């Protein structure tokens, strides 16, 4: 099942499937009662309703693994009030919000497993941190899930809407999306006009290949299908050229998180890039330590870090470390990299967050400059 199949679900069947998922994970009943499920199912036509998709797939391996993790961590943190703390967060239906809640729950559960005392959503002045973990040092945690830049989000929304509207057509054509240079608001009219042209072309006995360009929507007929309906088979991504936009985007999120960290204890900011297609690990490194560029030094060409990293900004001194995190690479054994702030007011202890799959990067003075040490030394995340 895909998210585009949700509108075809019978409401009663959708409710029964969701209830089967909850029966397999009883603690979820405290998050998703029947009244909430009924309202969620009413919004099944929304193409971003990923929560409903996860709930109505009780036999899907990926969805089952997702709920096993969520339920297990809720149960582990139940003495700390996890159900009340995460109810509203876990009820958000879009992918980025689900990723953010999942990451926050993961790190709180992880720190408890490592022996820390956990306080969920502690008050910090007039605000709240995500959680506080206390071992030999109190650490205050903020989880940030930076989305792609607005232009990238807009293009992704256009592609999703085109895909939704062309998932089934009356003519037995297999289509490919070549370009979509239009706004989300322009998609419905462009697709309607495209369908008119496909209808006329088919009536004339038209065969592939053929390219249609309708108000910025460029679609090709690549082949015929023996299925009862035609469909959009492939999409070509739009090319982009970036300078430092991604790292600057991350810097802003770290600075915003620093304002929510109290003066006492260590401050941890997790940058979860699971919801971004374009923010990579090297963008987080550039955001923390400064953009990397090549330069000549003593007759040799070397890589140097330019000023401007967030660790050089005194407003971020409360941030002891930034964690670059994504779930995409879990199968490769690397979950996260902890980048330690050399200018932090409070440094993290030497044994902090040491376990398999976690790397630590530190900037160490060396001669008239610095060098970077990453332990354990392993393949880069990107």
Question: In which residue ranges of the chain is pLDDT below 50?
Answer: 148, 240-242, 329-334
Secondary structure (H, E, C), 45-102: CCCCCHHHHHHCCCCCHHHHHHHHHHHHHHHHCHHHCHHHHHHHHHCCCCHHHHHHHH
Answer yes or no: do 267 and 359 share one domain: yes
Q: Please give the residue range of the domain that contains residue 110.
A: 3-136
The neighbouring-strand residues paired with 374 are 361
In a domain, 190, yes or no: yes
Spatial CB neighbours of 178, under 8 Å, sequence gap ≥ 6: 211, 218, 219, 220, 236
Answer yes or no: do 87 and 211 share one domain: no
Answer yes or no: do 272 and 314 share one domain: yes
Answer yes or no: do 205 and 299 share one domain: no
Give the pLDDT of residue 153: 63
Answer yes or no: do 259 and 207 share one domain: no
Give the pLDDT of residue 241: 43
In a domain, 163, yes or no: no
Strands 217-224, 231-235: pairing is: unpaired
| Of 194, 229, 264, the domain-final residue | 229
Distance, in Å, from the CA atom of 131 to the CA atom of 105, rounded to the nearest integer, reads 9
pLDDT in tens, 255-276: 888 888 888 889 999 998 887 7
31 DSSP 8-state letter: T
In a domain, 49, yes or no: yes
Residue whose pair of structure tokens reads 């003593």 in the numeric block:
298
Q: Yes or no: say if 263 and 269 are a contact pair by the CB < 8 Å rule.
A: no
Number of separate domains in the chain: 3
Answer yes or no: do 26 and 92 share one domain: yes
pLDDT in tens, 67-93: 999 999 999 999 999 999 999 999 999
Answer yes or no: do 223 and 104 share one domain: no
Answer yes or no: do 15 and 130 share one domain: yes
Answer yes or no: do 271 and 325 share one domain: yes
Q: Please give the full DSSP string across 243-293, using - where no structure is assigned.
A: SSHHHHHHHHHHHHHHTTS-SSSEEEEEEE-TT-SS--HHHHHHHHH--EE
- Helix H or strand E encompassing 34: helix 34-42
Q: Yes or no: say if 271 and 100 are a contact pair by the CB < 8 Å rule.
A: no
Answer yes or no: do 73 and 40 share one domain: yes
Distance, in Å, from the CA atom of 368 to the CA atom of 354, rounded to the nearest integer, reads 30
| Of 179, 198, 229, the domain-final residue | 229
In a domain, 382, yes or no: no
Answer yes or no: do 206 and 328 share one domain: no
Answer yes or no: do 120 and 177 share one domain: no
Q: Yes or no: say if 55 and 36 are a contact pair by the CB < 8 Å rule.
A: no
| Of 86, 111, 136, the domain-final residue | 136
In a domain, 240, yes or no: no
């Amino acid at each position: 099942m895909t998210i585009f199949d949700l509108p075809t679900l019978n409401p009663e069947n959708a409710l029964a499937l969701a209830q089967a998922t909850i029966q397999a994970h009883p603690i979820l009943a405290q998050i998703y009662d029947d009244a909430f499920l009924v309202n969620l199912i009413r919004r099944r036509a929304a193409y971003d309703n990923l929560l409903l998709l996860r709930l109505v797939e009780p036999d899907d391996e990926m969805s089952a693994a997702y709920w096993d993790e969520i339920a297990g961590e809720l149960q582990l943190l139940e003495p700390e009030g996890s159900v009340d703390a995460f109810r509203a967060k876990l009820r958000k239906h879009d992918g980025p919000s689900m990723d953010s809640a999942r990451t926050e729950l993961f790190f709180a559960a992880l720190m408890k497993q490592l022996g820390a005392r956990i306080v969920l959503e502690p008050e910090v002045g007039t605000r709240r941190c995500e959680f506080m973990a206390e071992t030999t040092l109190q650490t205050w945690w903020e989880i940030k899930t930076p989305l792609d830049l607005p232009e990238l989000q807009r293009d992704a929304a256009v592609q999703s809407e085109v895909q939704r509207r062309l998932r089934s057509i009356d003519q037995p054509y297999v289509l490919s999306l070549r370009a979509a240079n239009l706004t989300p608001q322009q998609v419905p009219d462009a697709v309607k006009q495209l369908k008119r042209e496909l209808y006329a072309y088919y009536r004339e006995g038209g065969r592939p290949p053929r390219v249609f360009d309708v108000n910025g929507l460029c679609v090709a007929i690549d082949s015929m299908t023996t299925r009862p309906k035609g469909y959009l088979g492939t999409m070509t991504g739009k090319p982009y050229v970036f300078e430092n936009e991604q790292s600057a985007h991350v810097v802003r999120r770290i600075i915003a998180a620093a304002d929510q960290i109290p003066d006492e204890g260590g401050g941890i900011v997790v940058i979860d890039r699971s919801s971004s297609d374009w923010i990579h690990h090297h963008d987080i490194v550039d955001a923390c330590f400064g953009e990397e560029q090549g330069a000549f030094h003593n007759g040799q060409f070397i890589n140097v870090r330019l000023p401007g990293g967030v660790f050089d900004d005194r407003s971020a001194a409360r941030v002891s470390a930034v964690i670059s995190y994504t779930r995409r690479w879990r199968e490769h054994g690397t979950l996260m990299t902890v980048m330690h702030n050399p200018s932090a007011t409070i440094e993290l202890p030497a044994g902090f967050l040491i376990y398999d799959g976690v790397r630590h990067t530190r900037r160490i003075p060396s001669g008239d400059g610095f060098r970077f040490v990453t332990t354990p030394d392993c393949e880069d995340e990107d």
